[in-house]
Structure 1
Amino acid sequence: MQHIDRPPFDPRDVYTTCISNARPSMRARLEAYTDAVANAATVYEGAAKSQALHTLGVLAAQPLARPDRKALEDVYTDRMAKERAPGRRIYEALKGTTDEDGNRRENRCPLCGEGLVTTLDHHLPKTSYPLLSVVPVNLIPACRDCNTGKRTTAPATAGEQTLHPYFDDFSHHPWLRARLRRPRGNEQPSVKFFVSPHSDWDDTLTERLRTHLRVFDLDYRYSLLVSSHIASTNHDLTMMPTNAVAPWLEHKAEGWRYRGNPNTMGYALFKALASDNWYVNGGWRSSSAGTNPD
């Protein structure tokens, strides 16, 4: 989970650019909502800054007419995301997967920190909030797994809000933690990821962090990735004295801080390995252990 800069685009300009090539009758229909889209963007940004996006029920009710709601949803699908659409340049800029010369570059998904960005996720779904269909701060660069896993989830309470990469930044405290699950028999070690909030954080924030892990299924997705990291680490440890293992793992964890953010899968994994006495004192040599603490 990574905080990223808000996009520099004006919502009104983005909307008018996207609808610029519509046929006259459809364009007139969409132009009638220009002020409503701009106003919705202002309301959204204020709520996001206050961590209150769950309070935007009024926006979800607009507009009432189903054909108009569908037309606004299609502004994103047909007039921004589609190849050669008038808003396609903005779409690509929001994804951040190309540089100024149009060359491809890696851009990690800020929602999970692992996948590569391939699409944009509507933080509040366009089917429920059609006025926000092409509002830039509602469009999050995302990997395919995060985008499809979230589906059309929308928060009904403060605690149901997932983290918003443009507005939330909790990188000053390592709240994403992991715990090694010792193997039984011929099993391989596995890892459980969980939330460990700061003592000063309230229950709502803690619930939001847990919601983020649950909605994007990060414990499961991360657990699928750790086996290769553990296998590689076990190989590296074969020539290392026992008293050097924990410091080396701590150093390895620090290498997984991304822009100073400790809430990455790798940081949590290697901190867990470094703090597990069984693993540090030779458990990494064997795929079996006496007792599983879980």
Structure 2
Amino acid sequence: MKRLDPPAFNATQAIEVCASGISIHERAQALLDALPVIQASEAEYRELGPAGQLFQITESNIVTSQIDAVLMGVIYKAHFARKGSPSRALYEQIRMAPEYGICPLCAQRTVATVDHYLPQSRHPKLNLTPVNLVPACSDCNKNKLAGVPTRAEDQTLHPYFDDLGNDRWLVVEIQASSPPTISFAIRPAGAWNDVLIARVNYHFRVMGLGELYAAQAASEMADISYSLEDVGVSTGPVGVRQHLDGQFRSRYDRDANSWKTALYEGLRDSDWFCTEGYRMIRNRRP
């Protein structure tokens, strides 16, 4: 759930560059002839996107009388995104936009593809519209599928339009167990309205982020268990808390709402964990 700047090119540029690489003259011309329809759809998208109202865009399986959803899908795959095509560089600009190549939808896995925010099978007019193309990891792309929301609350977050701010909103709950049980939850920021709260929770659920982050947190704790026990032996619970606080501050400085920031904050603030839980992460080696 990371904010991204929209692509620096528009649908007109994408269509013109894509058409220049299509050797089938009739297909290239049909795509260029569709430009006014595609431009109008892009304008509607840019108007509704910032307001979180993309669900209002009407579905259609045609672009023009010459191009339907199937052909537009072929144009996207066989021409726009094809390696070696003139438009492949535009595709790569979108795919490589996130910092460190990390998927903006889960903020964890590596970008592997470009996802159509509004699915191409139901919105072929937006197949080559840059603001509808979002870099994503394979898992997020699959989790999102081709579903189309019918209300604002059932929309996943859009990296180009949705800004969750820098307030702390991803938190961890620690349950006393051996090993400690870690669960992630959403704590709505004060500036969020009811619709955004619903959308963040919907995104979190659809993308399976609670399970993903919990698995990563378990691995992270296994990695630090030895150092925590070493600190505990030397300085006791106070030292453990101070060590975790340093780890939290380092993660917070880079990303206020990464799962690691939430994890170290939760561990630091748990009296049980700082007193005894850190010794229950895994069985000690003899």
For the criterion TM > 0.5, the same-fold answer is: yes
Q: 1:1-294, aligned counterparts within 5 Å?
A: 1-22=1-22, 23-57=24-58, 60=60, 62-63=62-63, 68-96=68-96, 106-183=100-177, 187-240=178-231, 241=235, 242-257=237-252, 259=254, 261-286=255-280
Provide the C-alpha distance between the structure 1 equivalents of 2:250 and 2:65, rounded to a whole number of angstroms: 53
The amino acid across from 2:21 in the alignment is N
Question: How far off is 1:125 after superposition?
Answer: 1.0
Q: Hey, what does 1:101 align to over in structure 2?
A: none
Provide the C-alpha distance between the structure 1 equivalents of 2:80 and 2:170, rounded to a whole number of angstroms: 35
Q: Hey, what does 1:291 align to over in structure 2?
A: none
Is contact 1:97–1:117 with CA below 8 Å preserved after alignment? Answer: no
The amino acid across from 1:176 in the alignment is L
Question: How far off is 1:64 after superposition?
Answer: 7.7
Q: 1:79 to 1:274 in 2, by over 3 A?
A: same
Query: More helix by proportion, 1 or 2?
Result: 2
Q: 1:176 to 1:77 in 2, by over 3 A?
A: same
Q: 1:66 to 1:227 in 2, by over 3 A?
A: farther
Is contact 1:173–1:262 with CA below 8 Å preserved after alignment? Answer: yes
Provide the C-alpha distance between the structure 1 equivalents of 2:194 and 2:35, rounded to a whole number of angstroms: 39
* Unpaired stretches in structure 1, ≥5 consecutive residues: 99-104, 289-294
TM, length-normalised to structure 2:
0.89
The amino acid across from 1:73 in the alignment is G
Question: For 2:183, what is the secondary structure of its paired residue?
Answer: strand
The amino acid across from 2:207 in the alignment is F
Q: 1:200 to 1:91 in 2, by over 3 A?
A: closer
TM, length-normalised to structure 1:
0.87
Count of equivalent residues: 277
Question: How far off is 1:67 after superposition?
Answer: 5.9
Question: How far off is 1:195 after superposition?
Answer: 1.0
Provide the C-alpha distance between the structure 1 equivalents of 2:253 and 2:125, rounded to a whole number of angstroms: 34
**RMSD of aligned C-alpha atoms?**
2.3
Provide the C-alpha distance between the structure 1 equivalents of 2:87 and 2:253, rounded to a whole number of angstroms: 31
Question: For 2:68, what is the secondary structure of its paired residue?
Answer: helix
* Unpaired stretches in structure 2, ≥5 consecutive residues: none
The amino acid across from 2:219 in the alignment is S
Is contact 1:194–1:219 with CA below 8 Å preserved after alignment? Answer: yes
